[in-house]
Amino acid sequence: MKIKEVIVVEGRDDTAAIKRAVDADTIETGGSAINEVTLRKIKIAQEKRGVIVFTDPDYPGERIRKIISQNVPGCKHAFIKRADAMKKRKVGVEHATPEVIREALSQVKTEFLEVESEITLEDLVQAGMIVGTDTKYRRTRLGEILGIGYSNAKQLIKRLQMFQISRDEFIAAVDQIEVEQEEANR
């Protein structure tokens, strides 16, 4: 599988994992202390070929993703579940199997800026994403189903907006979570 876009990862172990899975070029951020030189490379790559941000499913990975989004608009994003990126209690893209990486790259989401969301704060409250029990689990599962990664309560509406998740997609994902929770409680 050949990837046209340049994939932004955190380090060389991530690059090695990507290259085991697909034929692609990468830019390494060198961790969460992403500098201006790296951001400039990412901007050039975005202009010339497009960029897919593929960072670890943890706080530093989300921080890098946010910095890139603020400085290089319109990037695509690939996400993997935390469980698929674990090895001996360490989290990282480098621990994902080639199949998991290929699956994530086949489901990239493009970020859109300045777009109104069809989903309101009230929708999130009613869906148990912000208030109630199991909110973190529900947000995690929502991110997995929609392929947009985990978001805390404050970030969720922005992420739904950024990836233009429709009201129908949101409702279908919430319904799936409800069914799963009912089955688990039996």
Give the start-to-end residue ranges of the domains of the chain: 1-111, 114-186
Whole-angstrom distance, CA of residue 10 vs CA of residue 111:
19
Angstrom CA distances, 44 to 24, 59, 60, stand at: 16, 26, 23
pLDDT score for 9:
96
**Fold assignment, 1-111:** Dna Topoisomerase Vi A Subunit; Chain: A, domain 2 (3.40.1360)
- pLDDT reported for residue 115: 63
More confident: 111 or 120: 120
Q: Which of 36, 84, 37, 34 is nearest to 56 (CA)?
A: 84
pLDDT digit string, tens, across residues 30-58: 877 789 999 999 999 999 999 999 999 99
Supply the pTM of this predicted model. 0.75
CB 113 within 8 A of CB 78: no
